[in-house]
Structure 1
Amino acid sequence: MKRVSIQGIKGSFHEDATLKYFEDKEVEIIECSTFKEAVELVDNDKVDLCVMAIENSIAGSLLGNYSLMRQYHLRIIGEVYLHIEMNLLMNKGSICSDIKEIHSHPIALKQCIEFIQKDFPDAVLLEKSDTAGAAKALRDSKRKDVATIGNVRTSELYDLNIMEKGIETNKRNYTRFLILTKKSNGIVSSNKTSICFECGHYHGSLANVLMIFSEYEINLTKIQSIPILGRPEEYSFHVDLEYDNREKYEKAIHKVLKNVSSLSILGEYKKGAMPR
Structure 2
Amino acid sequence: MSLKVAIQGTRASFHEEAAFKYFGEEIETIECDSFKKTCELLKQKKTDYVVMAIENSIAGSLLPNYNLLRDYKFHIVGEVHLNIQQHLMALPGVKLEDIRHIESHPIAIRQCEEYLTELQNVKISEGMDTAACAKKIADNGLKDTAAIAGQLAAKIYGLNILDRRIETNKKNTTRFLILQNDIIEHKNANKASLSFQTGNNVGALANILQCFAEQNINLSKIQSMPVIGKRNEYDFYVDVEWKKQAEFDTAIRKVLKHTINFNIMGEYVKNEKI
TMscore range, shorter length: over 0.9
Describe the superposition over 1:188-222 as per-residue Cα deviations: whole angstroms up to 9, x where unpaired.
43100000111123432111111111111000111
Q: Distance in 1 between matches of 2:199 and 2:119?
A: 49
> Which region of structure 1 is more displaced relative to structure 2, 225-234 or 55-64?
225-234
Counterparts of 1:250-261 in structure 2, within 5 Å, are: 250-261=249-260
Q: Structure 2 counterpart of 1:226, which letter? A: M
Q: Secondary structure at the match of 2:110?
A: helix
Residue of structure 2 in register with 1:61 after alignment: 61
TM-score, length-scaled by structure 2: 0.93
Unaligned runs of 5+ residues in structure 2 are: none
Q: Does the 8 Å contact 1:89/1:162 carry over to 2?
A: yes
Describe the superposition over 1:56-101 as per-residue Cα deviations: whole angstroms up to 9, x where unpaired.
1111111111111111111100111111111011233433345443
> Which region of structure 1 is more displaced relative to structure 2, 121-130 or 75-84?
121-130
Query: How high is the sequence identity, in percent, across the aligned residues?
Result: 46
Q: Quote the offset at 1:143 in angstroms.
A: 2.6
Q: Does the 8 Å contact 1:59/1:107 carry over to 2?
A: yes
Q: Does the 8 Å contact 2:50/2:179 carry over to 1?
A: yes
Q: Distance in 2 between matches of 1:127 and 1:230?
A: 33
Q: Does the 8 Å contact 1:91/1:143 carry over to 2?
A: yes
Counterparts of 1:73-88 in structure 2, within 5 Å, are: 73-88=73-88
TM-score, length-scaled by structure 1: 0.92
Counterparts of 1:143-158 in structure 2, within 5 Å, are: 143-158=142-157
Q: Does the 8 Å contact 1:95/1:144 carry over to 2?
A: no
Q: Distance in 2 between matches of 1:202 and 1:112?
A: 45
Q: Secondary structure at the match of 1:129?
A: coil
> Which region of structure 1 is more displaced relative to structure 2, 96-105 or 132-141?
96-105
**1:233–1:142 distance in 2 versus 1, CA, 3 Å:** farther
Q: Distance in 2 between matches of 1:144 and 1:200?
A: 60
Q: Does the 8 Å contact 1:34/1:129 carry over to 2?
A: no
Q: Does the 8 Å contact 1:5/1:30 carry over to 2?
A: yes
Counterparts of 1:177-256 in structure 2, within 5 Å, are: 177-256=176-255
Q: Quote the offset at 1:228 in angstroms.
A: 1.9
Q: Distance in 2 between matches of 1:20 and 1:85?
A: 15
Q: Structure 2 counterpart of 1:271, which letter? A: K
Q: Distance in 1 between matches of 2:122 and 2:259?
A: 49
Q: Does the 8 Å contact 2:191/2:270 carry over to 1?
A: yes
Q: Distance in 1 between matches of 2:147 and 2:120?
A: 15
Residue of structure 2 in register with 1:113 after alignment: 113
Q: Structure 2 counterpart of 1:258, which letter? A: K
Describe the superposition over 1:126-155 as per-residue Cα deviations: whole angstroms up to 9, x where unpaired.
332221111101222333332211112211
- Total equivalences in the alignment: 273
**1:89–1:247 distance in 2 versus 1, CA, 3 Å:** same
Describe the superposition over 1:243-273 as per-residue Cα deviations: whole angstroms up to 9, x where unpaired.
0111110111111111112211110000012
Residue of structure 2 in register with 1:169 after alignment: 168
Q: Distance in 1 between matches of 2:55 and 2:8?
A: 14
Q: Distance in 1 between matches of 2:211 and 2:124?
A: 46
Unaligned runs of 5+ residues in structure 1 are: none
Q: Structure 2 counterpart of 1:104, which letter? A: S
Q: Secondary structure at the match of 1:250?
A: helix
> Which region of structure 1 is more displaced relative to structure 2, 135-144 or 74-83?
135-144
Q: Distance in 2 between matches of 1:96 and 1:231?
A: 53
Q: Does the 8 Å contact 2:17/2:152 carry over to 1?
A: no
Q: Quote the offset at 1:180 in angstroms.
A: 0.3
Q: CA RMSD in A?
A: 1.7
Residue of structure 2 in register with 1:49 after alignment: 49
Q: Secondary structure at the match of 2:248?
A: helix
Q: Distance in 1 between matches of 2:229 and 2:30?
A: 34
Residue of structure 2 in register with 1:15 after alignment: 16
Q: Quote the offset at 1:156 in angstroms.
A: 1.9
